[in-house]
């Protein structure tokens, strides 16, 4: 189903609907966005959107905004801790 996979192949891109921003986007280095997301089922996720400030123009991203998200799942390791991080490929706000 997810073939081909492994070194040298692109990571699979997933799409999830029924998410909403559970807080205001956090701007990193004046151009990237860190998003805190919650699903309709109550699951919480963190996502990073490289160049998200520019790429989100024309969309309103505030706490409570519903979104559809296309992303790659990745591992974020920092200070000895590793956790799931979604890397945004594209996003559509429900506004």
Give the containing element (helix H, strand E) for 52.
helix 52-55
The tens digit of pLDDT for each residue in 14-30 reads 999 999 999 999 999 99
Residue 33 sits in which domain range? 14-93
Residue 60 located in a structural domain: yes
Residue 82 located in a structural domain: yes
CATH number of the domain residue 23 falls in: 2.40.50.140
Residue 9 located in a structural domain: no
Residue 3 located in a structural domain: no
**What average pLDDT score do residues 81-87 get?**
93
Residue 5 located in a structural domain: no
Total domains, the chain:
1
Among 1, 21, 4, 29, CA closest to 86: 21
pLDDT confidence tier of residue 95, bands split at 50, 70 and 90: confident
pLDDT confidence tier of residue 53, bands split at 50, 70 and 90: very high
Residue 8 located in a structural domain: no
Cβ proximity of 91 and 70 under 8 Å: yes
């Amino acid at each position: 189903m997810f073939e081909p996979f492994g070194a040298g192949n692109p990571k699979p891109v997933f799409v999830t609907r029924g998410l909403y921003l559970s807080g205001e986007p956090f701007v990193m280095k004046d151009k990237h966005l860190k998003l805190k997301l919650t699903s309709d089922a109550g699951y919480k996720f963190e996502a990073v959107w490289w160049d998200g400030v520019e790429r989100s123009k024309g969309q309103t991203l505030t706490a409570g905004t519903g979104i559809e998200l296309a992303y790659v799942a990745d591992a974020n390791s920092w200070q000895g801790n590793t956790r799931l991080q979604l890397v945004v490929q594209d996003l559509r706000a429900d506004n």
